[in-house]
Structure formats: C-alpha cells, structure tokens
Amino acid sequence: MNSVIKQIVAIVRKDLVEAKRDRFFTLLISFLSIAAFISLTSGSIALATDISTYNAAKATLLALGKSLNAIAAPEFYPLKLLRGAVEQIEIIGAILGILIGFRTAMSERGHQTLSIVLVRPVNNITLMAGKTIAGITLIALSLLIVFSVLTATLAYFAAIAMTADDLWRICIVWVLSVTYISTFFVVAMWLTLSFKTPSTALLVSFVLWLMLVLVAPQVGDTLDPDNQVAGGVFKQLHIPKAEQERIKLGYASYETVRNGIETASITKHFERASFAILGIKDTYTNMSIAPILHDKSGDIWGVILSFFITTLIAMSRKLTLKSQQ
C-alpha cells in the first residue's frame, strides 16, 4: 500500500514539474483568464452605462418635477456580473481540460516513457490515478488563478466590499468548475492513451466537446417555444401565468424530451447549478445558499457523477504497450 502511494506521488510530482516547465500550460491559463476577464469587464461596463443612463433620466425627471416611478432602477447584484465569465469557463474551460488531458498523455507517448513505465511493476490504476490527481491539481490551480483575477476585478468594479457569503459562493462554483473541467480532462487523457493516433484522439475529444457543450444545449434551447418568439410566445400573446401553466400541461411530454436533451449534457448541469449559486438566475437572486444547494442538488450530483463515471471507465481500461506503438 505504501509503495502504491509512493508511486502515485512520484507520477503526480513528475507531471507537475513537467507542467511547470511547459510554456503551453501557461498559455492555456492566460487564454482562459483573459477570456473570463473580458466577459466580466464588458458586463461591468454595460452595467455602468445602464446606471449612468438611469441617473441622467432621473435627473431629467426631477428637473421637470415628475415622479421617479416612470423609470425602473437598474438592479445591481455584483455576482450576476460573473455570468459571462462562467460561460467562458463552461465553453473554453472544457477545451482547457481537453488540452491538459491530451498534453498529459502526450508527455508519456511523445517521450516514449509510457513503455518504460509499463514494463515496471506499476499497476494500471496507480498510473491513471497519479495522472488524474496531477491533472486535477493543475486544473484546480489554474482555476484558482482565474477566479482570483475575477474576484479582484469584481471587487474593483462593484465598488462595494465583497461579503463572506459572496466569497463562499465563488468558492463553491470554483469546486464545481474544477469537477466539470476535470471530466473533460479525464476523457481526453483516456482517449489519447487509448487511440493509435494522438491527433485522432484530440479530434474525437473535440467532437465530444461540440456535442456536449454546444449541440445538446443548443437543441434544448431551440426546442423551447418561448425562445422562438422575441420576448417569449406567452408574453407576446398576453397570456396570464395560470393559463400559461394550463397550456404547458398539454406539452408535458414534449417538455420532458426537451429537458432530457438538455440534461444529457454535463454542461447544462454545471450551468444551472452555477447560475443558481451565484444568483444569476432571477429565481435564486438574494436567496440564501442552503436552499439553493438543496434545490440544485440534482445538477450538482450530475456534475460530480459525470466525473466519477468517466474516471472509473478510464481507470478500468488496461493500457498495453501495443496501443502505444
């Protein structure tokens, strides 16, 4: 048992040292950080514009001696500004996971070190466990940098102190993001170690990314009748809420299929849970964290189980010298 732990530690250490020396890895983190930072900054600038427009309108109304009830004040919830950044993690973060997985596997295949490891008394599970732990550590550290940049930017733009509750919510989303991206990491690493040609493995990983991250949510989104008419079909027809529910009952099976397509993707689970925790979705704005976690436990488990299932599949695959030729 002790020797297994030593072997895992040795594999983890080797992968971490390699990543530290690799400029490609720094490039990946910078890419994601910049993407998330741009989304947060542009969201903040758009909100600042709304606020100044509101203030100008308010000043005009007051000068005319009119009531302020005519215009709605823009709502300001700092964590809502993270929407774009979370979506960047959802899309580009998944690619980061794929590339780290590909790179991790290629570091063994490219240097022919996998053949050396496989002829030594190292268990397949030990090897995969070591590489998975190293990958998760790298992803966790990368996202820590990304979320630190985001939190600092948010604190600057919000111009109000972030509360402990805000930081706690960001921490939970960080853990969720690490789990989400790690799933793509494990899949890409497993495919790259299994396929004869590494570039084919990378392309297949991209197909999976496309299907899970973009196509499945897109199909679900498109089938939502409320998204097909500008402003929503019920709003345009001026149908009251109770009547909307009655009409929707007639489309229950259609709605089940639509929701089923959406939830087949780990991305949608990640998005729903993150948006609820950060209060981005209006239903959860200003709600305390405990009921949100309870309400979104299905989506949180969706992300966690996806990770564990893919990891178990990857670990059960026996690596052979033949597949590495």
Partner 1 sequence: MAALRLSATSHIATHSLKTLFGEKTVWLFILLFTVLVVLSAYLGWSANTTVDAIYTDAKQYLLKAGNPVPPNPVMDSSPLSMLRNLSVYFGLIGVLVAIVMGYQLIAEDRKSGVLPLIATRLTSRREYACAKVGVFSGVLALLTLISLLVCGLVFVCLPSISLSGSQLRQLFEFHFFAYAYMATFGLFAMGCTAFAKKQSIALLTPISLWLIITFILPSLMANVNPTAAINPISTLVPVPDSAFFTIVHGYLAPIALAQNFDAISAQLLEYGPILSPLPVIQWGSLICAFTLSALFAVEAIGRMRMEKGAFNE
Binding site for partner 1 (CB under 8 A): 31, 34-35, 38-39, 42-43, 45-46, 48-49, 53, 83-84, 87-88, 90-92, 95, 99, 102-103, 106, 110, 198-200, 202-204, 206-207, 210, 214-215, 217-219, 221-223, 225, 227-230, 233-234, 236-239, 243, 247, 250-251, 254, 271
Residue 264: CB atoms within 10 A of its CB come to 17
The C-alpha atoms of residue 245 and residue 242 are separated, in whole angstroms, by 5
- DSSP states of 262-325 as a string? HHTSHHHHHHHHHHHHTT-SGGGTT--HHHHHHHTHHHHHHHHHHHHHHHHHHHHSPP-SGGG-
Question: By three-state DSSP, how is residue 70 classified?
Answer: helix
Rank residues 91 and 313 by Cβ distance to partner 1 and give the closer one: 91
Rank residues 93 and 129 by Cβ distance to partner 1 and give the closer one: 93
Rounded least distance, CB 14 to partner 1, Å: 19
- Taking a C-beta distance cutoff of 8 angstroms, is the pair 157, 81 a contact? yes
Rank residues 113 and 218 by Cβ distance to partner 1 and give the closer one: 218
Rounded least distance, CB 123 to partner 1, Å: 28
Rounded least distance, CB 180 to partner 1, Å: 15
Rounded least distance, CB 292 to partner 1, Å: 21
The C-alpha atoms of residue 304 and residue 195 are separated, in whole angstroms, by 26
The C-alpha atoms of residue 274 and residue 179 are separated, in whole angstroms, by 12
The C-alpha atoms of residue 34 and residue 184 are separated, in whole angstroms, by 21
Rank residues 9 and 210 by Cβ distance to partner 1 and give the closer one: 210
Rounded least distance, CB 221 to partner 1, Å: 6
Rank residues 85 and 129 by Cβ distance to partner 1 and give the closer one: 85
Exposed / middle / buried, residue 310 (Cβ in 10 Å: 0-12, 13-18, 19+): buried
DSSP state of 238: T
Rounded least distance, CB 187 to partner 1, Å: 16
Q: Which residues contact 154 (CB under 8 A, 6 or more apart)?
A: 40, 78, 79, 81, 82, 162
Rank residues 215 and 305 by Cβ distance to partner 1 and give the closer one: 215
- The number of C-alpha atoms within 13 Å of 205 and in the hemisphere containing its C-beta is 30
Q: Comparing C-alpha atoms, which of 183, 181, 174, 145 is closest to residue 274?
A: 174
Rounded least distance, CB 107 to partner 1, Å: 11
Rank residues 45 and 312 by Cβ distance to partner 1 and give the closer one: 45
Rounded least distance, CB 1 to partner 1, Å: 37
E strands within the chain? Answer: none
Rank residues 66 and 111 by Cβ distance to partner 1 and give the closer one: 111
Sign of dihedral through CA atoms 157, 163, 169, 170?
positive
